[in-house]
């Protein structure tokens, strides 16, 4: 069984994230890391492998991103993925979701028959939550997404998800695309042994040419959407802060709410 | 004028408010056509509802072959409709499912996609709030049929009579689209409170509640507000995940957000920073949430909130 886990390299959310002059995300001057939400995808991929002890299962971590994005694959290998693929090409810079999903789909096809593609709930930078569905469409596969519980048996998968209107159990037959939420269970930390072992694991670097993708199909120039303006939100001006003493805080708050016509 | 398709957000034919917001935005771009995907029995009610918000047409797609499956059949249905209606744009209410429907649709129609717009102007420029609400981005779809998912509370719905001509639309759903199946479904119990993402007021609690949400719920009910929670409160099992506000929960943008016993981590801010007025009650004067507030009370939520609740009730008589 072949599992491909999608790992995105993102700027650290706790750092000062910025845009470049061309409105693309500054991915160089801000420290990056494996998107925390993709750690859950790695974790579930590894758990599926562990639960199906005795089967031949390969977990491949795949990223599309700049040079530094290799760190996202490395982290997945340290956690326990078997091999890694990093698609990197200058032409990819500034790609939108349409182009990103195209490159990911071509890379998955090149990896050969895949049983399960596992992604996260959303990236922690753009956070569109669309790439897994786009991949399913491109690969002609079903999707079971936003799982908080995942169970597989043979070629069957069952997931639980907490939707807005209902809690659902969803069933599907492999091959398919799966995405998991941060409710699916804590992701493991790489162990010392894992970190050492990762150094010897295969990590391939592919270019667009390796995938047979024309450079004109991707990147900022080929995007289906154009950003016209980015603006930092004006910082909120500090409001009034009172310290409660014997009910004075509640009184002041009630007066504030009344002054704003909320009561 | 070209049609603009708006997918109706409804439960059993009961149309939800974001639909009216989208119809209002759609009128800026062309002639709004509402699209109903659902049971035949709910169609008439839905058509009547959208008539009051300028829908000229109501496409009715019977969901007999669609319900019970995830995402893919809806995307097929909308792609077929787009094939005959040649719309100027397709607008969907931003929800987890609709974003995935939009994603598949974008690939099928070879069209650009913008998600989570918070505004849309006459020229099709959409505004998004990104990076935990710290940046505003304006962008436009430049290829194909613009597909845009729009967040609740993005426009004030404008009442306007439309023809609402009911137009049944037959779709053919492929077997391939029916491969991920809903095996069991447990509807969520109605809380009797407003929907978190649509509410004008949200009162939230965090780890500082210590697991006792009664003071938070009391104030919420007095104000007619929805109840929210931080991830710490959800992870502790005090509140269901559907109440979570933040990066991996709901993004809310109400008129008033009241954060109680919530420190104000970046991931929480991501879900509430664009609220119009922000109030916090926290016993730690150093809590980062105070950097955001219009009004803050340094104090114990378990004493402050009940007193405010009493004042609200007294004022409302
Ligand atoms: C602020 C901002 C706004 C944007 N707005 C738009 C827009 O409106 N329309 C548009 O088309 N594009 C937009 N983009 C570009 C888009 O975000 C990127 O193309 C991105 O690669 C795809 O979307 P995502 O990061 O939101 O992924 P999501 O759909 O949120 O990601 C879900 C999962 O897919 C997987 N995944 C996603 N990207 C990769 C990757 N590169 N490598 C490996 N796995 C991956 C991960 O498992 C991830 O958890 C925007 C980018 C930014 C920074
Ligand atoms: C990838 C990722 C995604 C995340 N997504 C989310 C998300 O969607 N939403 C979210 O909320 N968090 C999210 N988090 C978690 C976030 O980083 C914080 O851990 C979380 O928001 C903390 O919740 P809290 O403020 O309730 O708890 P704490 O940070 O522990 O704060 C509790 C506060 O309560 C105050 N307090 C204690 N007792 C009282 C009292 N009696 N009266 C008044 N005040 C009191 C304390 O002073 C403190 O400020 C995410 C984290 C990661 C890494």
Residue A65 token pair = 């991103």
- Degrees (nearest 5) of the Cα angle B135, B140, B145? 140
Distance from CA of B190 to the nearest CA of A (A): 9
- How many Cβ pairs closer than 8 A exist between chain A and B? 262
Interchain proximity B290–A241, CB inside 8 Å: yes
Distance B296 CA to ligand 2 centre (A): 17
Q: For chain B, which domains are there?
A: 3-178 (3.40.50.620), 201-316 (3.40.50.1220)
Distance CA B118, CA B89 (A): 16
> Between the CA atoms of B151, B153, B154 and B155, what dihedral angle is there, to the nearest 10 degrees?
140
**H or E segment and range at residue B280:** strand B277-282
Domain that residue A29 falls in: 2-222
Is residue B203 within 8 A of residue B258, CB to CB? The reply is yes
Tell me the pLDDT of chain A (263 aa) as tens digits: 999 999 999 998 777 787 888 878 877 778 899 999 999 999 999 999 999 999 999 999 999 999 999 999 999 999 999 999 999 999 999 999 999 999 999 999 999 999 999 999 999 999 999 999 999 999 999 999 999 999 999 999 999 998 878 899 999 999 999 999 999 999 999 999 999 999 999 999 999 999 999 999 999 999 999 999 999 988 888 799 999 999 999 999 999 999 999 99
Q: Of the bound ligands, which one is closest to the alpha carbon of residue B245? A: 2
Is residue B161 within 8 A of residue B126, CB to CB? The reply is no
Mutation choice for ligand 1 from B101, B124, B137, B270, CB with most ligand atoms inside 8 A: B137
Residue A171 token pair = 């069933």
Q: Provide Rg for chain B, Cα atoms.
A: 21
B246 annotated among ligand-binding-site residues: yes
What interface predicted TM-score (ipTM) does this complex get?
0.94
Mutate to test the interface with B, among A103, A104, A164 (most CBs of B within 10 A): A164
Nearest CA in chain A to B300: A244
Contacts of B242 in chain A (CB under 8 A): 162, 164
Selecting from B99, B141, B281 the residue whose C-beta is nearest the C-beta of A128 gives: B99
Contacts of A122 in chain B (CB under 8 A): 248
Residues 6 or more apart whose Cβ sits within 8 Å of residue A235:
none
Question: Residue A212: inside a domain, yes or no?
Answer: yes
Nearest CA in chain B to A247: B304
The residue behind tokens 């070879």 is B110
SS (H, E, C) chain A: CEEEEECCEEECCCCCCCECCCCCECCCCCCEEECHHHHHHHHHHHHHHHHCCCCCCEEEEEEECCHHHHHHHHHHHHHCCCEEEEECCHHHCCCCHHHHHHHHHHHHHHCCCCCEEEEECCCCCCCCCCHHHHHHHHHCCCEEEEECEEEEECCEEEEEEECCCEEEEEEEECCEEEEECCCCCCCCCCCHHHHHHHCCCCEEEECHHHHCCCHHHCHHHHCCEEEEEEEECCCCCCCEEEECCCCHHHHHHHHHHHHCCCC
Task: Kindly give the number of the ligand 2 atom that is closest to the alpha carbon of B206.
Answer: 26
Interchain proximity B130–A126, CB inside 8 Å: yes
Distance CA B140, CA B146 (A): 8
Distance B268 CA to ligand 2 centre (A): 7
- At A126, phi and psi to the nearest 5? -80, -35
For chain B, which residues score pLDDT lower than 70? none
Residue B90 token pair = 């397709």
Measured by CA distance, the residue closest to atom 7 of ligand 1 is B114
* Number of domains, chain A: 1
Question: Residue A259: inside a domain, yes or no?
Answer: no
| Residue A233: predicted pLDDT | 86
C-beta of A102 in contact with ligand 1 (< 6 A)? no
B186 annotated among ligand-binding-site residues: no
Distance CA B187, CA B185 (A): 6
| Residue A14: predicted pLDDT | 77
Is the alpha carbon torsion for B111, B28, B277, B200 positive or negative?
negative
C-beta of B287 in contact with ligand 2 (< 6 A)? yes
How many C-beta atoms lie closer than 10 Å to residue B97's C-beta? 18
Question: Residue A249: inside a domain, yes or no?
Answer: no
Selecting from B96, B136, B308 the residue whose C-beta is nearest the C-beta of A231 gives: B136
Contacts of A176 in chain B (CB under 8 A): 179-180
How many C-beta atoms lie closer than 10 Å to residue B184's C-beta? 12
Selecting from B111, B114, B279 the residue whose C-beta is nearest the C-beta of A253 gives: B279
What is the domain-level CATH number for residue A180? 3.40.50.620
How many C-beta atoms lie closer than 10 Å to residue A203's C-beta? 17
| Residue A26: predicted pLDDT | 79
| Residue B10: predicted pLDDT | 95
Selecting from B247, B267, B295 the residue whose C-beta is nearest the C-beta of A239 gives: B295
Nearest-CA neighbor of A6 among A123, A112, A151?
Answer: A123
| Residue B1: predicted pLDDT | 79
Task: Kindly give the number of the ligand 2 atom that is closest to the alpha carbon of B263.
Answer: 49
Is residue B258 within 8 A of residue A203, CB to CB? The reply is no
Distance CA B247, CA B131 (A): 10
| Residue B132: predicted pLDDT | 82
| Residue B131: predicted pLDDT | 86
DSSP class of residue B88 equals S
Residue B87 token pair = 């719309």
Nearest CA in chain B to A23: B137
Q: Of the bound ligands, which one is closest to the alpha carbon of residue B138? A: 1
Question: Residue A244: inside a domain, yes or no?
Answer: no
Q: What is the pTM of this model?
A: 0.94
């Amino acid at each position: 069984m072949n599992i491909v886990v999608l790992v995105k390299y993102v700027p650290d959310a706790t750092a000062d994230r910025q845009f470049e002059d061309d409105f693309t995300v500054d991915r160089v001057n801000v420290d990056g890391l494996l998107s925390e939400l993709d750690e859950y995808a790695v974790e579930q991929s590894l758990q599926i492998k562990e639960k199906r002890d005795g089967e031949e299962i390969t977990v491949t971590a795949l990223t599309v991103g700049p040079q530094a994005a290799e760190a996202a694959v490395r982290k997945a290998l340290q956690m326990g993925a078997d091999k890694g693929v990093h698609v990197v090409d200058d032409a990819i810079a500034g790609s939108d979701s349409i182009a990103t999903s195209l490159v990911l789909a071509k890379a998955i096809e090149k990896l050969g028959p895949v049983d399960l593609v596992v992604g996260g709930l959303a990236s922690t930078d753009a956070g569109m939550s669309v790439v897994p569905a786009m991949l399913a469409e491109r690969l002609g596969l079903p999707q079971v997404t936003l799982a908080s519980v995942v169970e597989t048996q043979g070629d069957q998968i069952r997931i639980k998800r907490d939707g807005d209107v209902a809690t659902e159990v969803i069933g599907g037959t492999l091959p398919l695309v799966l995405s998991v939420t941060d409710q699916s269970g804590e992701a493991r930390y790489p162990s010392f042994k894992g970190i050492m072992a990762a150094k010897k694991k295969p990590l391939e670097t592919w270019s667009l040419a390796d995938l047979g993708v024309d450079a004109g199909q991707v990147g900022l120039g080929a995007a289906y959407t154009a950003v016209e303006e980015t603006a930092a939100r004006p910082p909120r001006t500090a409001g009034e802060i009172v310290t409660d003493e014997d009910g004075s805080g509640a009184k002041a708050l009630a007066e504030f709410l009344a002054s704003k016509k909320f009561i | 004028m070209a049609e603009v398709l708006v997918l109706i957000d409804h439960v059993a034919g009961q149309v939800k408010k974001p639909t009216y917001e989208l119809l209002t935005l759609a009128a800026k771009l062309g002639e709004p056509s509402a699209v109903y995907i659902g049971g035949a029995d709910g169609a008439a009610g839905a058509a009547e509802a959208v008539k009051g918000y300028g829908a000229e047409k109501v496409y009715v797609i019977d969901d007999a072959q669609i319900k019970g499956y995830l995402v893919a059949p809806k995307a097929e249905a909308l792609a077929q409709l787009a094939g005959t209606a040649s719309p100027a744009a397709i607008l969907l209410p931003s929800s987890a499912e609709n974003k995935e429907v939009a994603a598949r649709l974008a690939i099928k129609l070879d069209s650009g996609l913008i998600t989570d717009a918070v505004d849309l102007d006459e020229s099709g420029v959409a505004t998004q709030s990104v990076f935990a609400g710290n940046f505003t981005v304006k962008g436009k779809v430049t290829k194909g049929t613009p597909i845009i998912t729009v967040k609740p509370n993005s426009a004030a719905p404008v009442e306007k009579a439309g023809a609402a001509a009911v137009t049944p639309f037959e779709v053919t759903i492929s077997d391939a689209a029916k491969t991920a199946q809903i095996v069991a479904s447990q509807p969520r119990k109605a809380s009797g409170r407003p929907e978190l993402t649509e509410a004008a007021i949200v009162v939230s609690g965090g780890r500082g509640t210590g697991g006792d949400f009664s003071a938070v719920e009391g104030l919420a009910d007095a104000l007619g507000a929805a109840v929210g929670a931080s991830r710490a409160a959800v992870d502790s099992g005090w509140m269901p995940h559907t109440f979570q506000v933040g990066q991996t929960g709901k993004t809310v943008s109400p008129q008033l957000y009241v954060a109680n016993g919530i420190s104000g981590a970046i991931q929480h801010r991501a879900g509430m920073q664009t609220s119009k007025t922000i109030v916090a009650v926290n016993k730690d004067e150093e809590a980062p949430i105070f950097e955001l507030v219009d009004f803050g009370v340094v104090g114990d939520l378990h004493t402050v909130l009940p007193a405010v609740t009493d004042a609200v009730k007294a004022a409302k008589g």
